[in-house]
Amino acid sequence: MDNAVPIAQGERDERFMRQAIALARRALASGDTPVGSLVVRAGSVLAEGVEAVRARLDITAHAEIIAVREACRAACGFDLSACTLYTTAEPCWMCSFAIRQARLGRVVIGRPTPVIGGGGPPHALLLEPAVAGWGPPPALAWGVLSGECALLRR
């Protein structure tokens, strides 16, 4: 018989967001924008991403893109519908496109990213239902450890 006590969704979200914050601090220490992301499946971390645009001289090396890329490799495919992406900052439009293409089931966001964020106005790509081939939008959870995520500065 399994005596494990189930972890409430809020506690699980905070635990994984703390790991994303630690990744964001690594990005900050290397001179990049402090964003950390991880993809979780069945309660286990499948992939991590540390923002590395400056470190790699690669404009696409956003934490979310790195985490999604590695998760697709680990899952041997592009269906991450059973996974949750945790990210310290609202994904930009580029990252939102990758999230939708990989069919992530849920995205947990620490803090909003005004103007270029893909989860809210003016261009909510994460929620847009009308793009053929994208599948259903992911469920979004906003503001998990938002205060700690907002304190991350470059």
Q: Catalytic amino acids?
A: 64
Closest CA to 36 of 14, 13, 60, 16: 16
Q: With 0-12 CB in 10 A as exposed, 13-18 as middle and 19+ as buried, what is 14?
A: middle
Burial string for 55-93 (b: 16+ CB within 10 Å, else e) reads eeeeeebbbbbbbbbbbbeebeeeebeebbbbbbbbbbe
Token couple for 35: 């964003």
**What are the residues facing 154 on neighbouring strands?**
none
